[in-house]
């Protein structure tokens, strides 16, 4: 029987462990907070990350990394993107050479501009055929409540993606497979930046027209960069692209949308970050994407505007003006 380990006991890590367990895959969660782990294993809850939610029964927990990782066939990584390199490097010697390593993270590493799958390959020595990414409209609370959703499991090796999909599929969680790792992963990271911009718009009191404008042009921006990176165009209109973008930009459950909204309402970036429950990856990812895109010569106006605002160079109310004042042109072509 396939056995899984989840590294990270936050909202998404615990939820993914519940998904695996509901699908019949024995799963152990590794973390460093004894109280959180005891809450999960004893009461089936993670009151700190997702209060009021009851997870699948039977999830095992441990603070012993060797216990969690020994003989694990699937190792899912659910830690903050900017801390993943150090955390995974420490655990890498314990991961089986045959295990599929799954990134649940949605970010671009600061400095290196690497996607999370690239970071995992580098620190573990695993080839691309042993690394997969999960991305899509996956708001943790909704999935933890077993509301129907679909996701994408992407890997350069179709068999690896199918193995992860089979280990997670259930009556409420439907995984689709894909071999376009670059496109799927870029969508998962970039949508957080667009969600910050939409949140600012909401915080300023603008309506649905403005939201639709930022989301639609945001997807165009993501697609333009993705194609320059060699991604497949159909990925961006699917679950990992438009699907995840809609969910993250429209839901108050999105930390990135909520952070942007607080800034739009007048809160400082530091205070908005402090008020966030968990990590809003869009803040650090925006700068990484901007630097990477500029290096490729790709125009990313929404990302540029978000970075300019986060750096304090313009006020939130000026962000949308920066976008709408750009030279007019044909929408397509």
Task: Show which residues are catalytic.
Answer: 191
DSSP class of residue 46 equals B
Three-state secondary structure of 282-298: HHHHHHHHHHHHHHHCC
Residues 192, 195, 200, CA angle at the centre, nearest 5°? 135
DSSP string, 297-312: T---HHHHHHHHHHTT
76: which residues sit within 8 A by CB, 6+ positions away? 4, 5, 6, 7, 13, 16, 17, 20, 102, 104, 134
Provide the CB-side half-sphere exposure for 114 (13 A, CA): 14
Structure tokens at 96: 């089986």
| C-alpha to C-alpha distances, 324 to 196, 209, 303, 329, nearest whole angstrom | 17, 13, 14, 12
* Residue 47, phi then psi, degrees to nearest 5: -65, -25
With tokens 């990782």, the residue in question is: 69
H or E stretch covering 152: strand 149-155
Report the DSSP beta bridge partners of residue 132.
102, 155
């Amino acid at each position: 029987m396939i056995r899984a380990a989840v590294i990270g006991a936050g909202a998404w890590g615990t939820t993914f462990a519940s998904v695996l367990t509901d699908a019949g895959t024995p799963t152990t969660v590794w973390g460093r907070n004894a109280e959180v782990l005891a809450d999960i294993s004893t009461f089936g809850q993670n009151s700190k990350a997702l209060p009021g939610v009851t997870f699948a029964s039977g999830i095992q927990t441990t603070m012993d990394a060797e216990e969690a990782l020994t003989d694990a066939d699937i190792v899912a990584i659910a830690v903050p993107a900017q801390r993943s390199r150090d955390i995974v490097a420490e655990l890498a010697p314990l991961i089986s050479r045959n295990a599929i390593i799954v990134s649940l993270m949605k970010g671009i590493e600061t400095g290196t501009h690497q996607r999370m799958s690239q970071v995992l390959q580098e620190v573990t020595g695993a080839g691309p055929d042993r690394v997969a990414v999960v991305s899509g409209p996956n708001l943790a609370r909704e999935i933890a409540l077993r509301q129907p959703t679909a996701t994408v499991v992407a890997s350069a090796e179709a068999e690896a993606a199918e193995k992860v999909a089979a280990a997670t599929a259930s009556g409420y969680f439907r995984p689709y497979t894909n071999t376009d790792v670059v496109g799927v992963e870029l969508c998962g990271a970039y949508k957080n930046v667009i969600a910050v911009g939409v949140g600012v718009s909401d915080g300023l009191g603008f309506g649905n027209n403005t939201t639709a404008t930022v989301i639609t042009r945001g997807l165009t921006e993501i697609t333009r960069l993705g194609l320059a990176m060699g991604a497949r165009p159909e990925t961006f209109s699917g679950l990992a692209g438009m699907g995840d973008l809609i969910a993250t930009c429209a839901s108050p459950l999105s930390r990135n949308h909520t952070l942007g909204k607080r800034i739009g309402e007048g809160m400082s970036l530091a205070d908005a970050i402090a008020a966030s429950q968990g990590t809003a990856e869009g803040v650090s990812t925006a700068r990484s994407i901007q630097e990477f895109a500029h290096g490729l010569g790709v125009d990313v106006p929404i990302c540029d505007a978000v970075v300019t605002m986060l750096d304090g160079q313009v006020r939130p109310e000026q962000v949308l003006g920066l976008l709408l004042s750009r030279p007019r042109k044909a929408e397509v072509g």
